[in-house]
Amino acid sequence: MNDPRRCVALAEAKRSDPVVQLLLRLFRGFHGRLGLRLWNDETLTLGAQHADEPAPPFTLVLRNPAVVRTMLLGRNPLRLAEAHFRGDIDIEGGFFAALDLKNHLHAIRLSLRDRLHTALTAFRLRATRHDPVVAAATRAQPPAKSSLHGRIVKAHSRPENRAAIQFHYDVSNDFYALWLDKAMVYSCAYFESESTSLEQAQQAKLDYICRKLQLQPGDRLLDIGCGWGALILHAARHYGVNAYGITLSRPQLAVVQERIAEAGLTNRVKVELRDYRDLEGINAYEKIASVGMFEHVGLKNLPVYFATAHRLLVPGGLFLNHGITHDVEGWEKTLYTEFINRYVFPDGQLDTMSNIQRGMERVGFEIADVEGLRAHYALTLRHWVARLEQHHDAALRHVSEATWRVWRLYMAACALDFESGETGVYQILASKRTAGPIQLPLTRRHLYPTSADTI
């Protein structure tokens, strides 16, 4: 009989190397199959090992014995992530399947005897040189930024938020252009079906927002955190609005200014480097959009953020807030939050959908419509990961290998989080309260035009 447990036991008996014995023990309970290739090219197959089983969906490559010590002592997934960024750990094959190891390693419970044996063996391990090919390739890449770690954000002050935006967005416009769509929309797309292309889905999202906001020729539209300008340009071209966008990223600003000039829209579209807290005026805009920006605000600053949007809107004006939410209240320190704040968004903080909506109501907004789009974001992220992998060599002309790995891991992990429901994304359409009925159609029919009506 080909009992998986018996196969693993036989594999252990054949290998007297204590390091191999430890690895077999470590992965014995893994739910699935994986290949494991060591620094000496020895390869193990762990999990169900029937002769008729297909090859493992991925192979975990350990470049030196020191990595085993990292895996065994503490089993902190962030330490493993660091080892992957350095090139000490590689993943060949299905990257998404390999991310299941996070839960496995975190859940391992060893007996006292096993823990003592593990510690003694792990401490005897000596680090060897990195694989020369990988090490040389990593050294050859230009660094994208001085550190993979962003500065800790404590108060979400203007300087802190500006530095955090620069850490994430000022990597390289050319790097982002490799895996985003042509309009460079860096937020959840809107898919008609799973076969919809990323380009089509992002254009559909831009138009969907414009229809939700009921944009009309001559409307004054504010885009808080306009990115590379896709929404303000789309709204001006197709809906005849006068658009104003703000960003904290100078590289983004340069791209938007160039695109505005190329489109011949300098008389109707403007963009500035500005913090939302520095926006002046009262009743200055008929419509306001914020797409993928409020995650940077900080939970304690959300009242100021929403109050600013409320002050800037005319009575009865519409505000669309598109942003990511969490499945638990607040932003307590967890593996997920620590990873995001350390490597990706130093100022990122999320809260539950109900808390966000309550915060909007407290400053005087009337909620008109709420739509969850987490399935769409999971699809978007899988498109981004695939494109990033396809353009690996081109990406290394703009960022380091380590930075490329950070982005791939972050986006793949986020895709799985959206699929599991741990994170969500919502579009909340709200109106600045005024006497009388809200200025919206009686039905949602306008959101779903026929093919003849689409732009």
User: What pLDDT is stored for residue 107 in this prediction?
Assistant: 64
pLDDT digits (tens, 9 = 90+) for 189-203: 999 999 999 999 999
Residue 363 structure tokens: 């400053």
Per annotation, catalytic residue among 188, 210, 226, 414? 414
Residue with the bigger pLDDT between 125 and 420: it is 420
Average pLDDT rounded to a whole number, residues 247-271: 97
User: What pLDDT is stored for residue 244 in this prediction?
Assistant: 98
Residue with the bigger pLDDT between 59 and 65: it is 59
What region does 421 belong to: left with phi over 0, alpha with psi -120 to 50, or beta?
left
Q: Catalytic annotation on 210?
A: no
User: What pLDDT is stored for residue 155 in this prediction?
Assistant: 62
* Count of C-beta atoms within a 10 Å radius of residue 241: 25
- Residue indicated by tokens 């000596």: 126
Average pLDDT rounded to a whole number, residues 246-250: 94
Confirm if 251 and 271 have CB atoms less than 8 A apart: no
The reported pTM is: 0.86
Confirm if 185 and 259 have CB atoms less than 8 A apart: no
- Please check the confidence at residue 163 and state whether its pLDDT lies above 80: no
CA 100-101-106 angle, to 5 degrees, is 110
User: What pLDDT is stored for residue 10 in this prediction?
Assistant: 42
What structural domains and CATH numbers belong to the chain? 4-139 (3.30.1050), 158-447 (3.40.50.150)
pLDDT digits (tens, 9 = 90+) for 88-123: 999 999 999 999 887 777 666 666 666 666 666 666
- Please check the confidence at residue 1 and state whether its pLDDT lies above 50: no
pLDDT digits (tens, 9 = 90+) for 126-148: 544 444 444 444 433 434 444 56
In the chain, % of residues over pLDDT 90: 59
- Please check the confidence at residue 241 and state whether its pLDDT lies above 90: yes
pLDDT tier at 151 (50, 70, 90 boundaries)? low
Segment among 23-32, 114-123, 282-291, 330-339 with least mean pLDDT: 114-123
Nearest to 324 by CA among 271, 270, 380: 380
Confirm if 68 and 62 have CB atoms less than 8 A apart: yes
pLDDT digits (tens, 9 = 90+) for 361-419: 999 999 999 999 999 999 999 999 999 999 999 999 999 899 999 999 999 999 999 99
pLDDT tier at 227 (50, 70, 90 boundaries)? very high
Residue spans of beta strands (DSSP E) within 55-197: 58-62, 89-93
Residue spans of beta strands (DSSP E) within 87-241: 89-93, 220-224
Residue spans of beta strands (DSSP E) within 199-326: 220-224, 242-247, 269-273, 285-291, 313-326
Residue with the bigger pLDDT between 130 and 255: it is 255
- Please check the confidence at residue 78 and state whether its pLDDT lies above 70: yes
Write down the mean pLDDT value for the chain: 85
Residue with the bigger pLDDT between 12 and 36: it is 36
Average pLDDT rounded to a whole number, residues 239-254: 96
CA atoms within 13 A on the CB side of 136: 3
- Please check the confidence at residue 313 and state whether its pLDDT lies above 50: yes
Residue with the bigger pLDDT between 339 and 15: it is 339
Task: Label residue 134 exposed, middle or buried (CB < 10 Å: 0-12, 13-18, 19+).
Answer: middle
pLDDT digits (tens, 9 = 90+) for 176-188: 999 999 999 999 9
